[in-house]
Amino acid sequence: MTDAVFPVPEEWAKEALIDNATYLEKYQRSVDDPDGFWREEAQRIDWIEPFGTVKDTSYDKDDFHIKWFEGGKLNIAANALDRHLETRGEQTAIIWEPDDPSEDGRTLSYRELHAEVCRFANVLKANGVEKGDRVTVYLPMVPEAAIAMLACARIGAVHSVVFAGFSPDALAGRVEDCQSNIILTADEGLRGGKPIPLKANVDAACEKVPVDTVIMLKRTGANVPIVEGRDVDWAEAVAAASAECAAETMDAEDPLFILYTSGSTGKPKGVLHTTGGYAVWTSMTQEYVFDYQPKADGSMPVYWCAADVGWVTGHSYVVYAPLINGATQVMFEGVPNYPDHSRFWNVIDKHQVEIFYAAPTALRALMREGDEYVTRTSRKSLRLLGSVGEPINPEAWDWYHRVVGDRRCPIVDTWWQTETGAAMITPMPGATDLKPGSASRPMFGVKPALLDAEKGTILEGAAQGALVITDSWPGQMRTVYGDHQRFFDTYFSQYPGYYFTGDGCRRDEDGYYWITGRIDDVINVSGHRMGTAEVESALVAHELVSEAAVVGMPHEIKGQGIYAYVTTNAGVEDSEDLRAELVKWVRKEIGPIATPDVLQFAPGLPKTRSGKIMRRILRKIAEDDTGNLGDTSTLADPSVVDDLVANRAQNK
């Protein structure tokens, strides 16, 4: 199945913005003449003052700097709102779908969103927020989250969004790290029918790291304690605020936001993005990756990126890029399995969504529940599907394509990182023949390369190695907040002259890129280097398996052995027979070298709040080194770990 190729459907090749010939021509130009290419692409943004130099960057240790569009002045919130007022003021910008489908949703036109953002920008100012100040946003997926972010951008404040599911400790750590004096929150969040005590979490965080101001939105109306002199009621403050607020003139290189990475590999890093390059880069990628253009009747297709604004995907592909591009989009408060496993597909039918973008972790969880939840819905409106966050294993890709998309919708598997701002390696639906499991080819202006992980030498042609990017692109992060040295050390020191992604990757004969997982996750069994993603894909391809995580473990003879954690489908009985069958299955699928040495059934896997498997914890358990599990503050459900540790003991 991994050899399958899905050619570009004819109507896509004809009607898409980018067909294959255009892709090839444009890509070549973008790397041969980056200055000319980006000068042109930057015209998609309204600049208050034009930039001079397009690109001024060096990864060299002694002359390390990254600057794009210097001298240019703009306001990104004005690009997302003000400039649309004349042409699409009454067009719906956001269709808000609440957690509980029986609750009324909300729609905001560009004009309404603009007014709300201006009002809230004035509220921030009235509470002492100035240009350059860091504002912590700890809000659920309600329109006010986008309003808050855009209001910060409007006045030049730097937002630091913390996912509204993180613990008080994780919140306090982030508030402290970026020295933020204000937190925007809600009384409670709602996810899957369950209240999340956001205000209580803020209060607990403030015991450790006090702030001057907390602005609280009433989402559920829960009875929460109010701290006099610190807490401000959102609605009251907004009601008193004017809907006029001039947008601050920002330099292209002024900071826009700080966002902490998921912490899959270690302590989260405060990734800092700036304004001009990010605006150009995110909006360009959203247009091309999702072929986002007006329909024949002039209306905009309904677009839905299901990511939370707490992640970079929510920043780039919910808040900034779609609004800059004048999209009509769904913003979803809930979860995929509430009230039942049809929710995504019901929302798609309800709002006639044409473009849908989600994470493999959610897809695998839904796939596990069987096809009926999908097939009972129509999904006729869908035209394009997207995936982000992890390698999508071919099994899940096939399900997404066949069951969700009725074989009709191309899938754009977008590889990128918090650090990269937007999609770096990705198909474009009108241009790219798809290979399930491959993120395919580079975005315009992106120069990927594979290095021999040990020697650091460039590998040509079909090869497997460490994925680096050899030159800068406009939406690249500019620093780790407060620790520029860490920025250089983390990304530019290991392979001098390159941006090191931390990911392993294979390139095939057609020049397609296949992310094999984190480079730290490569296992070396008797001298054979293997990406963990490959073994995981083989396991998940078994009909009774829903999810798998594979790590290396010390092995006397082989150097490293393979330790596999396996979650079976709902209703499947874990047994010794099944264990033996799965081991045999991997042997058959990949070869004897990939035979798991230990296979542990795991009712749940340790995941970050963004749904990524934390393999470093699984490695520790496999190595029987459970005394020091490292930073676990971003774990979704810490109790999963206790269960795995307990069962590890039984394995021996």
386 is in an annotated binding site: no
Query: 597-623: b or e for each residue (b if 16 or more CB lie within 10 Å)?
Result: bbbbbbeebbbbbbbbbbbbbbbbbbe
Which of 377, 409, 372, 411 is CA-nearest to residue 394?
A: 411
The Cα–Cα gap between 313 and 307 comes to 6
What is the pattern of x (binds ligand ATP, CB under 6 A) and - over residues 427-466?
Answer: ------------x---------------------------
Q: Return all residues near 647 (Cβ < 8 A) that are at least 6 apart.
A: 600, 601, 602
Which lies closer to ligand ATP via its Cβ, residue 98 or residue 474? 474
* One of 97, 413, 534, 547 touching ligand ATP (CB under 6 A): 413
The Cα–Cα gap between 514 and 555 comes to 28
Q: How far is the CB of 240 from ligand ATP (least distance, A)?
A: 38
Write the DSSP string, 130-152.
Answer: -TT-EEEEE--SSHHHHHHHHHH
Q: How far is the CB of 482 from ligand ATP (least distance, A)?
A: 16
415 is in an annotated binding site: yes
Q: Tell me the one-letter amino acid at 2.
A: T
Which lies closer to ligand ATP via its Cβ, residue 515 or residue 594? 515
Q: Please give the structure tokens belonging to residue 377.
A: 């819905």
540 is in an annotated binding site: yes
Which lies closer to ligand ATP via its Cβ, residue 324 or residue 439? 439
- 410 belongs to the binding site for ligand ATP (CB under 6 A): no
For the chain, the C-alpha Rg in angstroms (whole number) is 24
Helix boundaries (H) for 368-483: 372-375, 394-399
Contact yes or no for 71/42 (Cβ under 8 A):
no
- 262 belongs to the binding site for ligand ATP (CB under 6 A): yes
Which lies closer to ligand ATP via its Cβ, residue 261 or residue 464? 261
- 264 belongs to the binding site for ligand ATP (CB under 6 A): yes
- Residues touching ligand ATP, count (CB under 6 A): 26
* One of 315, 612, 615, 620 touching ligand ATP (CB under 6 A): 612
* One of 385, 388, 523, 578 touching ligand ATP (CB under 6 A): 388
Contact yes or no for 303/311 (Cβ under 8 A):
no
- 567 belongs to the binding site for ligand ATP (CB under 6 A): no
- 518 belongs to the binding site for ligand ATP (CB under 6 A): yes
224 is in an annotated binding site: no
381 is in an annotated binding site: no
* One of 80, 162, 217, 515 touching ligand ATP (CB under 6 A): 515
Q: Please give the structure tokens belonging to residue 70.
A: 């210097």
User: Alpha-carbon dihedral of residues 291, 294, 295, 299, nearest 10 degrees?
Assistant: 140
391 is in an annotated binding site: yes
The Cα–Cα gap between 387 and 390 comes to 8
* One of 255, 263, 430, 531 touching ligand ATP (CB under 6 A): 263
Which lies closer to ligand ATP via its Cβ, residue 92 or residue 286? 286
526 is in an annotated binding site: yes
193 is in an annotated binding site: yes
Which lies closer to ligand ATP via its Cβ, residue 599 or residue 605? 605
Name residues contacting ligand ATP, limited to 572-611 (CB under 6 A): 610
The Cα–Cα gap between 137 and 481 comes to 17
Which lies closer to ligand ATP via its Cβ, residue 312 or residue 363? 312
Q: How many CB atoms lie within 10 A of CB 232?
A: 17
Q: Please give the structure tokens belonging to residue 304.
A: 């839905």
Q: How far is the CB of 165 from ligand ATP (least distance, A)?
A: 15
Q: How many CB atoms lie within 10 A of CB 131?
A: 13
Which lies closer to ligand ATP via its Cβ, residue 332 or residue 416? 416
The Cα–Cα gap between 438 and 507 comes to 9
Contact yes or no for 87/294 (Cβ under 8 A):
no
Which lies closer to ligand ATP via its Cβ, residue 248 or residue 503? 503
- 390 belongs to the binding site for ligand ATP (CB under 6 A): yes
The Cα–Cα gap between 622 and 633 comes to 21
105 is in an annotated binding site: no
The Cα–Cα gap between 57 and 469 comes to 13
482 is in an annotated binding site: no
| Cα torsion angle, 620, 622, 625, 627, sign | positive
Which of 478, 51, 472, 72 is CA-nearest to residue 257?
A: 478
- 95 belongs to the binding site for ligand ATP (CB under 6 A): no
383 is in an annotated binding site: no
- 389 belongs to the binding site for ligand ATP (CB under 6 A): yes
| Beta-carbon-side half-sphere exposure of residue 405 (alpha carbons within 13 Å) | 23
Q: How far is the CB of 433 from ligand ATP (least distance, A)?
A: 17
Which lies closer to ligand ATP via its Cβ, residue 265 or residue 567? 265
- 391 belongs to the binding site for ligand ATP (CB under 6 A): yes
Which lies closer to ligand ATP via its Cβ, residue 405 or residue 561? 405
Name residues contacting ligand ATP, limited to 480-509 (CB under 6 A): 501-503
* One of 136, 285, 418, 440 touching ligand ATP (CB under 6 A): 418
Q: How far is the CB of 92 from ligand ATP (least distance, A)?
A: 29
- 363 belongs to the binding site for ligand ATP (CB under 6 A): no
Q: Which helix (H) or strand (E) holds 96?
A: strand 92-97
585 is in an annotated binding site: no
| Cα torsion angle, 417, 420, 422, 427, sign | negative
Query: Residue 514: what are its φ and ψ, rounded to 5°?
Result: -125, 110
Which lies closer to ligand ATP via its Cβ, residue 301 or residue 427? 427
Q: Please give the structure tokens belonging to residue 163.
A: 């996912």
Which lies closer to ligand ATP via its Cβ, residue 413 or residue 534? 413
- 475 belongs to the binding site for ligand ATP (CB under 6 A): no
The Cα–Cα gap between 281 and 283 comes to 6
Q: How far is the CB of 24 from ligand ATP (least distance, A)?
A: 22
- 268 belongs to the binding site for ligand ATP (CB under 6 A): yes
- 156 belongs to the binding site for ligand ATP (CB under 6 A): no
Q: Please give the structure tokens belonging to residue 519.
A: 């480079």
- 265 belongs to the binding site for ligand ATP (CB under 6 A): yes
Judge residue 284's burial from the number of C-beta atoms within 10 Å of its C-beta, 0-12 exposed, 13-18 middle, 19 or more buried: buried
Q: Please give the structure tokens belonging to residue 288.
A: 């091309």
576 is in an annotated binding site: no
Stretch that binds ligand ATP, among 8-16, 139-147, 257-265, 320-328 (CB under 6 A): 257-265
416 is in an annotated binding site: yes
CA distances from 239 to 118, 122, 622 (A): 12, 11, 56
Report the binding-site residues for ATP. Answer: 389-391, 413-418, 503, 518, 529
Report the binding-site residues for Mg(2+). Answer: 540, 542, 545
For ligand ATP, the binding residues (CB under 6 A) are 261-265, 268, 312, 387-391, 413-418, 439, 501-503, 515, 518, 610, 612
